Amino acid sequence: MAEKWNPKMVAERMAEAASTLRRLKVSGLKPQGYGSSWPDIVHEFSEAYGYNELVVRLGPPTADAITRMDEAMEWLRWLESDQVRLVWLHAEGVPRKVIMAKLGVQRTRVWIMWASALSTIATMLNRKNQKSV
C-alpha cells in the first residue's frame, strides 16, 4: 500500500522543488551581452589571495530531483492562483512579512490559506493513490 500524503510531506516536497529549480542552470532567457574569457580583475591585494570567505554552491540537481520537481509543479494545478503564489513563495523561503505584503492579507489568513492549499494537495494525492491501487 502506498504511503498516505500529509501537508507536511507536501510542504517538504515543494521546498525541495524550489531548491531544485534554483539549482538548475537555465540559459537563453536573457540576451547574452558581452563576454570575456579573461579572469575577473583583482582590484585590491586583499582580494587576490583568498582573504575573502569561500562561497560554496551546490552542484546541479540530479535527474531524480528534477523528476520530483516536475511532479510537484504539476500539483499546483489543483490550486487557485493566490494559493499557488503563496505555496511557492513559502517553498522558496520568503519571510512571512513579505508574503503578507505581496498578497495583502494578515498573518493568520496567510497561514490558513497555506495550510488549506497543502491539505488540498495532500487530499488529491491520496485520492489519486487510491484510484491507482
What's 45's DSSP letter? G
> In this predicted structure, what is the pLDDT of residue 99?
94
* 3-class SS of residue 59: coil
- The pLDDT value recorded for residue 57 is 78
User: Can you give the pLDDT at residue 53?
Assistant: 73
In this predicted structure, what is the pLDDT of residue 11? Answer: 97
- Locate 77 and state its grid cell: 494545478
The answer to whether 24 and 66 have CB atoms below 8 angstroms apart is: yes
**Below-70 pLDDT ranges, the chain:** 1-2, 27-35, 40, 42-43, 45-52, 133
* Nearest residue to 14 (alpha-carbon basis) of 71, 74, 72: 72
Determine the pLDDT at residue 30: 63
Identify the pLDDT of residue 1.
43
Whole-prediction pTM: 0.78
pLDDT at 26: 72
* Residue 133 amino acid letter: V
